[in-house]
């Protein structure tokens, strides 16, 4: 196959599959924490896929007040916060969670919680960003 055809095919696919990366802002509670959200469109159902990665995020038990879990939330533009799941922190203080949503414009944030069963986010927000894929 001609090299220029291969390069052209790659360039047509690459922007679609790579998505856009959004930096998360850390609260003063976890100043060393860093987070990114890579947002891209699922090729089959056109939903928005969010690949959330965190680094240097303190274990929730070391926070004041102490917590047991970090939960990821999405607040669609003008809507209520929707829990997406827990994001764990490994021995290197890193974690990852991939979620899918129909939203195209939303806030994504992580809170420290006492339990994974909570239905509304606490005020203990540790990382946040705004995503718009329109």
CATH of the domain at 71: 2.60.40.200
pTM above 0.75, yes or no: yes
Helix or strand run (H / E) with residue 113: strand 105-113
CA gap 13, 25 in Å, rounded: 30
For the chain, the farthest-separated pair of C-alpha atoms sits apart, in whole angstroms, at: 61
pLDDT digits (tens, 9 = 90+) for 51-105: 999 999 999 999 998 999 999 999 998 799 999 999 999 999 999 999 999 999 9
**pLDDT over 50 at 43, yes or no:** yes
Number of folded domains that form the chain: 1
Task: Check pLDDT > 50 for residue 36.
Answer: yes
State the pLDDT at residue 14. 45
- Token pair 């916060």 in the structure block, residue: 81
Strands 34-41 and 48-55: antiparallel
Determine the pLDDT at residue 15. Answer: 46
The predicted structure's pLDDT at residue 133: 85
pLDDT of residue 134: 77
Residue 126's SS3 state is: strand
Least confident of 5-9, 36-40, 124-128, 130-134: 5-9
Predicted local confidence at residue 30, as pLDDT: 95
Averaged confidence pLDDT in the chain:
89
Domain with 119 in it: 3-132
Q: Are 125 and 69 in contact (CB under 8 A)?
A: no
């Amino acid at each position: 196959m001609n090299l220029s055809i291969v390069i052209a095919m790659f360039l047509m696919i690459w922007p679609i599959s790579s998505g856009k990366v959004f930096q998360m802002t850390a609260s003063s509670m976890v100043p060393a924490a860093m987070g990114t959200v890579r947002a891209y469109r699922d090729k089959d159902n056109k939903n928005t896929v969010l690949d959330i990665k965190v680094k240097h995020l303190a274990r929730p038990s070391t926070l004041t007040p102490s917590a047991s879990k970090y939960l990821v939330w999405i607040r669609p533009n003008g809507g209520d916060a929707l829990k997406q799941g827990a994001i764990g922190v490994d021995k290197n203080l890193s974690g990852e969670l991939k979620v899918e949503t129909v939203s195209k414009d939303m806030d994504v944030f992580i809170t420290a919680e006492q339990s994974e069963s909570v239905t509304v986010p606490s005020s203990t927000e540790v990382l946040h960003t705004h995503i718009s894929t329109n």
